[in-house]
Amino acid sequence: MQNPGNINKQIYRLALPNIVSNFSIPLLGAVDTALMGRLESEVYLGAVGIGGIIFSFIYWGFGFLRMATTGLTAQAFGERDFRECGRLLLRAICIGITSTLLLFSLQWQLINLSFLLIETSPDVEHLARVYFHIRIYAAPATLCLHAFHGVFLGLQNARYPMVLTVVVNLINVVLNLVFVKLLGMKVEGVAFATVIAQYIGLFLAILLFWRHYRGLLTPLRMREVLVFSKLKRFLSIGGDIFIRTCCLVFSHAVFTAKSAALSDTILAINTILLQFINLLSYAIDGLAFAAESLIGKYKGAKDTVNLKRTIRQIFFWSFLFGAAIMLIFLLFGDQLLRLFTDQMPLIAQAKPYLLWIIVAPVINVAAYIWDGIFLGATASKALRDSAVLSTVLYLSAVYLLMPLGNHGLWGALTVLLVARGVSLTMLAPKYLF
């Protein structure tokens, strides 16, 4: 049994690198938004926003490659079954490569379906299609990186995911600036930068794993990796997470689609404001990733006492962190808006909606942290059921509140996060202990 001080040290050791790496992700989105927001038309900003949502469907949908891998690897680590950790990496990579082939074969159907669901102007749609058909070629690298991130976190190593994420995003930012500012490219420059950065990241991940963990792969045979019962469990957990993630991404896609239906200006405003929400989610997810690693380890070791203690401490630090972010948004919201666009009419129209951004940090914490806890415990059915219920409530709220315009849209998004937090709190005793 460990005392709270030791639990806190483990949380710091895992959370701090995750927070650093996660902060670099919205930085990339912020640079994309700032670059497009300074071009001569708002359609470029809208196109990158729409393109980002489409890839959120794709890559968040396949996020189970990281999430399932983290929980299963952490549990194998807690059981001291290190060979299984190596098998899990190869298992996830095999599924990732198979998924990539599926994405390539269905790319035209995916983009056409996207614009059946998303209503926008012809100019925005054309540019978003250009963005999509370039960025799709990053899929093999992106999905394999999910597998490496999952294994590293499951092995209680948050430093390597930090290195990978920061390096990939810094390279992406630099290439964005080169392609857009120096070479005069527009949405195609942002897409090419992402593709190149993802493949550099995959090469670095292979080097890091081979340098420090190659012993987990030898001696291994593929028939050990492709054991039917293990694949079935991985895919069962992955299927639940896939449904959960699709529900959440669909909810955000509805938000973007309804924004576009209100006007191109509202779409541009909400694309900017969502950068605040992304900043919040990635910051809190640093603690959620720590929860995945620790909960999985204690679940594998069958250590219920430290599992419960970790949950208490993670929530304490998460709400404290959320309150600090809320204060930053309250004090510096206007200045942060100016980082994303220099169009003063757009800034003026965005200000009334900052209220929703200011209250989000404390409201959203429970949903984000429970996600990490349930993923570490591989309690995927609870995550699936919570997401489905929350999405139904969200769609109902959209229908009821849309007459209020953009405020109604933000109110419905808040309902989604509250429903997730409350439902997972109610399911915790059944699935975790």
Confidence of residue 198 (pLDDT cuts 50, 70, 90): very high
| Per-residue pLDDT at 392 exceeds 90 | yes
Exposure string for 15-25, b = 16+ CB within 10 A, e = fewer: bbbbbbbbbbb
The helix/strand/coil state of 185 is coil
Give the helix ranges, DSSP H, for 2-138. Answer: 4-37, 43-55, 61, 64-78, 82-105, 107-117, 122-135
Residue, of 101 and 339, whose pLDDT is higher = 101
| pLDDT surpasses 80 at 61 | no
The alpha-helical segments, DSSP class H, found in 214-303 are 222-225, 228-262, 264-300
pLDDT on residue 42: 65
Cα–Cα dist 386/244, whole Å: 8
DSSP-derived secondary structure letter, 341: -
Q: Identify the pLDDT of residue 36.
A: 62
- What is the chain's Cα-based Rg? 21
Number of structural domains the chain divides into:
1
Q: How confident is residue 30, by pLDDT bands cut at 50, 70 and 90?
A: low
Whether pLDDT at 231 is above 80: yes
The predicted pLDDT at position 120 comes to: 75
Handedness of CA 394, 397, 399, 405 (dihedral sign): negative
pLDDT of residue 131 exceeding 90? no
Reported as type and span, the H/E element at residue 308 is helix 304-340
Quick one: CA torsion of 213, 216, 218, 222, rounded to 10 degrees?
-120
Please give the pLDDT value at position 5. Answer: 60
Answer for the pair 166, 224: CB distance below 8 angstroms, yes or no: no
* Higher local confidence (pLDDT), 332 or 240: 240
> If you ran DSSP here, which 8-state letter would residue 48 be given?
H
Tell me, what's the pLDDT at 1?
A: 53
Q: What is the pTM of this model?
A: 0.82
Q: Rounded distance, CA 360 to CA 411, Å?
A: 11
**pLDDT beyond 80 at 21:** no
* pLDDT above 70 for 27: no
Residue 185 has a pLDDT of: 82
Residue-averaged pLDDT of the chain:
86
Please give the residue that has the higher pLDDT: either 244 or 123.
244
How far lies 88's CA from each of 38, 78, 148, 288, 415, in Å? 44, 14, 10, 21, 36
Residue 373 has pLDDT above 90, yes or no: yes
Q: Categorize the per-residue pLDDT at 32 as very low, low, confident or very high, splitting at 50, 70 and 90.
A: low
Q: Give the residue numbers spanning the domain of 292.
A: 4-432
Question: In this model, does residue 184 exceed pLDDT 90?
Answer: no
Task: Tell me the mean pLDDT in the region 372-379.
Answer: 93
> How far is Cα 163 from Cα 179, in angstroms, rounded to an integer?
24
Q: How far is CA 171 from CA 131, 142, 421, in A?
A: 18, 15, 35
